[in-house]
Structure formats: C-alpha cells, structure tokens
Amino acid sequence: MEREVVKRLEYLREQIRLHAYRYYVLDDPVIADGEYDSLFRELLSLEEAYPDLVTADSPSQRVGGQALEAFAPVEHLSPMLGLDNIFSRSEFVEFVEKVYRYLKSDEPIHLIVEPKLDGLAVELVYRHGIFVLGSTRGDGVTGEDITAQLKTVPAIPLRLFTTADTIYPEELIVRGEVFLTKQGFAALNRQREKMGEPLFANPRNAAAGSLRQLDPKITAQRPLSFYVYGIGHTVLPAVPDQETLFIRLRELGFPVNGLIRVCTDTEEVERHYQYLLTVRNDLDYEIDGMVVKVGRLDLQQRLGATARAPRWAVAWKFPATQVTTVVDAVDFQVGRTGAITPVAHLRPVELNGVIVQRATLHNRDEIARKGLLIHDTVLVQRAGDVIPEIVKVIPEMRTGQERPIRFPQNCPECGQPLVQPEGEAVVRCVNRYCPAQQLQKLIHFVGKNGLDVEGLGKKNVEQLVQSGRVQTFADFFTLDKKALSGLNGWGEKSAENVLTAIEKKKNVELAQLIRALGIRYVGEVTAGILASHFSDIDHLMAAGKEQLLQIEGIGEQTGTSVYEYFEDPDNRATVRQLFSAGLTVQSVQRDHASLNGRVFLFTGTLSTLSREEAKQMVKAQGGQVATSISRRVTDVVVGNKAGSKQKKAAELGLALVNEAEFLQLVHREAK
C-alpha cells in the first residue's frame, strides 16, 4: 500500500512542478486552474495522511515557480507566501474553527474579505517615499527584478503622497496584484492575432507575459492595472488591523479595491462571497474567488504560517471558469440568416457547475487560426451564461489519432452549395428555402429577441414544425387547443397557457414586430430607430434605400439589408399574412415624444420597476433603448449593483442618471 502511495506522491509532485513551471515561468498553461488545484489538494491530503513521506523539495513546502535567469534575483525580506484554497462553505467554516482553536479564544474575530484577482503578485519597495525596487513573487523567497517594467504601470505610484498627517517608515514594502482589465485583455489578444502571434489563454498569463518583457517599452504598451493587498517586512505605526492598513495605503497613493469588506461574522462573509459570485461577470477585471483574512494584525502574528501559506488567510475559490477536455466531433449548424457555424462536441466536463458538452468555433478562419483537430485536447472557458468557447489547443497532449476538420462544401441541411461572401469570414447557405433557416427564423420570431411568447421555446417550436402545425409566422396565430393538446407532452393546461400567451402578442409595438421579423443586422436598438422614424409598417416597407440611409443610426450595411428584405415579395407576403391572422400593431404615440433623439442604457437593478417597464416608458415617449455602451447613448440609468457599464459610461463622459432622476424625467416628459 505504501509503495502505491509513494508512486502517487512522486507522480503528483512531478505534475505539479511541470504545470507550475508552465504557469509561472512560461506563462503557457496546458491545464485549467481547477485541475491544478485538484492535483495540489490531493498532494496535501496524502502528505497529511503520510507525514513521514513529505520531502523537502515537495511543492507543498514552497510557493510558485522559479525566477527567470533573464532577470536579476531579488531576495524577499519576508517570504511571499501563497494561500491555501477552499472551495465550499464547509471548508470555510473549518478554516474559521481552526483559527479559534489555534488562538484558544472565544472572542469574536472580525474577518476582512477581498476579491481574489486573477493577476500576478508583485512586491514594491519604497525608500524615503520613492519607488526603488519591484519584483515578482518567484518561489516565495527569491523573485525577479522587474523594477523598470513595473514603473510603466500607471496605477503604481513612483513617489508616495505625503501630507502633514502622513507618516511612512524609511523603507516601506507593499504587495499587490498586477492585472489586465477584460477590455485590455481582449484588445491585447486582437493585436497579437493581427501580428500572427500566439494568443494569451487568460488575463493572468497576459499580465505575467507583459511584466516579463525584457524591454520596458513593450510593457508600457500593455494596459496593466494594479491593486495593493498588503505589506511585507514593514511595520506601520498605529495600524492595528487590515482595514486601517488599507486606509493608510490608500492615503499614500496606492489603489485599493472597492469591493473589500469587513465582516463581523461568518454569515456576512458567506453573503459577500455570493455577492461577488453574482457580480463577477459585470466587473471589468477577472476574479477567481475571494480572499478571507483575520482582520487584526496582532492575531495574524500569533497565527503565523506554515511552510507555504499563512494560517490567518485563505482563498475561497469560485467554481472553475476554464477546464480541459477533448473534442470528440464537429458538426455544422445553419442559422436563420444562412450562416454556417461549426460547433465542437466535447467530452462532457463540469464547468461553473454546469456539464459542458458543446463549444462554438465561430467560423472556418477561427478553426484554422487555432489549428484545431478532431480529438484534440483543448482549454475551454465559459463566461456568464453564454455558450462555452475553446480558448486554445494543447498540442502537447496529441496522441497521433487526431484528424483535420473538414468544412462542408454544401449545406448540411438542404444540400445547396455554400458561399463565402467577399469581405466576410462566415460561410453561408444562400438557399432562402433551406428548412434549417426557416426553423431558426420561426424560433427567433416567438423567442426572447422576437415577440417573446411565453411557453414557446426552441424545443416546442421544433415540435410544432416537425408535426406540420407551423410553417410560417402567421401559423402561430391560428393554433388552437385541439392542435396543441394532441402533441406529445402537451396537455390541455399547457396548450391553454401557450394560446393565452399568443393572444397577448396579437397586439404588438411596431419596434417589436420589426425585430421579430429577423432582418439581418436589425436588433433592438435599430428596430427602435426604424419604429421611431416610420409611423407604421407600410411606410417602412415602402421606404427606398436612400430614405433609409438618411436616418441617423442606420448605416449602409443595415439600410441595404432592410431595403432588400422588404423588396422581396415573399417577405412582404409574410407581413400581410400576419395581419390576416389577426396581428395588429400599436399606433406610435407621438404626442409626448419628448425623448426623441435620446438613447437610454440601463445597468444594475431598479427597485421600483422592472427593466422591461423602464424600457417601455422610454419607447412610449419616443426614446430609444441600447443594450451596450457607445457614444450614441445619451443617458445611462444606474440601478443597484451596477456593473462595468457604469464605469465605462463615466469614462466616455455620458450622463449618469439614478432611478429617482429617471422617474422624474419620464414623468415630467409625459405631462
């Protein structure tokens, strides 16, 4: 038994060393963070069960990777330790209980929590208030001298702020995280793609790669940011706890994360964890968990540290956002505009608490750029609730069984030849009668981005089409209880509910009808622009191309698409069929159209009305609603827990309106 344990320990240590080297030194990981954490947790568990088998060179006995030879070594005056990871509430409770047991005290302990940024830990040394030395964590004892590179990061002060009340020691050592914003990361990868350079897998590796540039001028071109999280071998007078420490560091000129909270009990910590988990996708930077620290510095001193981590802090990690898996197959889906989208079928793997089995590959160029083969091992990520995507291929894991992905020459649904229009990356089926396109158009028409008919999701629409009950948009409005209740899985009650939902949609706004038709390039905002300009659908259908192009906000591409759509006799007939089936369009009220020319964007949660109600208020008064930040937006309505859109809006100088001001505005304008 012990021989098997020894072999397993040797394997784990070798794998951890290998992946730590790729992660910390090469900035080119081949496994996801969650899988690395799993290996490390297994190692710690085995070493705890068999303490006699712990070796001095085990990864559990030190931190991170090793210093690059290209940079001068820097000895840290006190070790830059890593953090032990926890992944559940029970593990968090166990951490707190261990703290109390170690201190042998029942006195309430305040905890301070901070977002765990996905960046690169650095140490900054200030002498007489001047930044003189900056280094990476390295192996925790010896780091790399990247002073010149760190001086290019705008958020890092080169000289500390001083006031009459400010006192700082002769030497101040601070520690923090250098990171890339999501926008900065995306822009950097776009630039690397244009240059034909390999893309970074995630913002952490992009930040590390940026700081390890030998030429600081290259680092200066990277949009790096910084947050401070603590101090090193320094004692600041009259600083009893972490909260005061952050206040002092902010006074000295260091940026401090605004989501740091002091918690008086474990329930408050758990609530903040759930809050961060909720808002993480709205933040302009990546976080992969939350750091929990004992607040009082004297208690931190008493608790001390193990060989690799402090006993007074722990990292409560979020569920994994990236995992590795295998591409088993690739098929090709036909969208409502004829676009052919390759979709990878993945070996099932859990990601963010969801079993992932598919990932979008976007287009043929994307497959070629990534060099993807069937049976490749890949790194997959999922942001928010969107379909996962393949970040990178891991060629080191190839076995020789991989084979090329063959893009079809003909539509996989109707068999017609595919074309790739000039200037487009997307290959298309141009057969307007392609059954797959017709199905997707029907799904869109009653879906969330169309009429939004409750109870008519994708699967239900597919069932209606397969049964022959629905072939056109108008067919939805001629359904009856007998036709629906006879379908597999449908009863009288479900049929009644759907018919009631359809009846409610027989009278719609002009903008909603335009959007539901599925005209290429016409989304919510463009549909609103067209509805504001034309009094009814007949005037829109009769509009010439030049007339459309004269409308502010309608470009050449969109104007041409709208004109060509309504020039098609079949599309005009489709609209007429809708009216014959009982659809009516609400007349556009222009009496109080005082918001004409104004474009509203909503971010955060409104407390007195729903997002949809607020949008309707704007549209009823001639205004438009946007879904993303741009210079077209005139008013940004900010609710509770507003995300990164608020920050971007402020950077663009857009008007920020709170809920009370918005209500006052729409009520005043409506008078």
- Contact (Cβ atoms closer than 8 angstroms) between residue 601 and residue 645: yes
DSSP output for 362-410: -SHHHHHHHT--BT-EEEEE--TTSPPEEEEE-GGG--S--B-----SB
In a domain, 407, yes or no: yes
Q: How confident is the model at residue 166 (pLDDT cuts 50, 70, 90)?
A: low
Q: How confident is the model at residue 27 (pLDDT cuts 50, 70, 90)?
A: low
Supply the pLDDT for residue 28. 77
Domain tally for the chain? 5
Which sequence positions are flagged as catalytic? 116
**What tokens does 178 get?**
């250098």
The whole-angstrom separation of Cα 54 and Cα 410 is 61
More confident of the two residues 382 and 540: 540
108 and 51, same structural domain? no
Ordered alpha helix ranges (H), 158-292: 182-194, 203-211, 216-220, 242-251, 266-279
The pTM score is: 0.63
Supply the pLDDT for residue 627. 74
DSSP output for 418-455: EE--TT-S--EE--TT-HHHHHHHHHHHHSTTTT--TT
Supply the pLDDT for residue 595. 78
127 and 39, same structural domain? no
Q: Which residues of 503-538 are buried (b: 16+ CB within 10 A; e: fewer)?
A: eebeebbbbbbbbbbbbeebebbbbbbbbbbbeebe
195 and 103, same structural domain? yes
- Contact (Cβ atoms closer than 8 angstroms) between residue 85 and residue 41: yes
211-232 average pLDDT score: 88
More confident of the two residues 536 and 562: 562
We report the CATH number of the domain holding residue 415 as 2.40.50.140
pLDDT in tens, 610-648: 777 788 788 777 777 887 777 778 889 998 777 778 888
Query: Quick check: 242 pLDDT over 90?
Result: yes
Supply the pLDDT for residue 671. 42
444 and 420, same structural domain? no
Give the helix/strand (H/E) hosting 135. strand 130-136
Q: How confident is the model at residue 436 (pLDDT cuts 50, 70, 90)?
A: very high
446 and 301, same structural domain? no
More confident of the two residues 282 and 376: 376
The whole-angstrom separation of Cα 282 and Cα 384 is 9
In a domain, 313, yes or no: yes
Query: Quick check: 150 pLDDT over 50?
Result: yes
In a domain, 519, yes or no: no
More confident of the two residues 340 and 65: 340
Supply the pLDDT for residue 591. 46
In a domain, 523, yes or no: no
We report the CATH number of the domain holding residue 550 as 1.10.150.20
CA distances to 190, 216, 588, 658 from 126, rounded to whole Å, are 36, 20, 65, 41
In a domain, 512, yes or no: no
Q: What percent of the chain has pLDDT over 70?
A: 94
We report the CATH number of the domain holding residue 641 as 3.40.50.10190
Closest CA to 451 of 503, 382, 529: 503
**What tokens does 51 get?**
């303490």
Query: Quick check: 431 pLDDT over 60?
Result: yes
Supply the pLDDT for residue 354. 75
Give the helix/strand (H/E) hosting 500. helix 492-504
**What tokens does 570 get?**
């079949």
Closest CA to 476 of 448, 449, 504, 509: 504
In a domain, 255, yes or no: yes
Q: How confident is the model at residue 167 (pLDDT cuts 50, 70, 90)?
A: low
Which residue range is the domain that position 224 belongs to? Answer: 73-317
* Dihedral (CA of 375, 381, 384, 386) sign: negative
The whole-angstrom separation of Cα 382 and Cα 359 is 9
394 and 296, same structural domain? no
Interstrand relation of 599-603 and 624-626 (parallel, antiparallel or unpaired): parallel
Closest CA to 154 of 221, 70, 96: 221
**What tokens does 448 get?**
């969330």
Domain final residue pick, 24, 41, 61: 61
Q: How confident is the model at residue 525 (pLDDT cuts 50, 70, 90)?
A: confident
Supply the pLDDT for residue 129. 87
Q: How confident is the model at residue 670 (pLDDT cuts 50, 70, 90)?
A: very low
**Edge-to-edge, what's the strand order for the sheet holding 655-658?**
624-626, 599-603, 635-638, 655-658
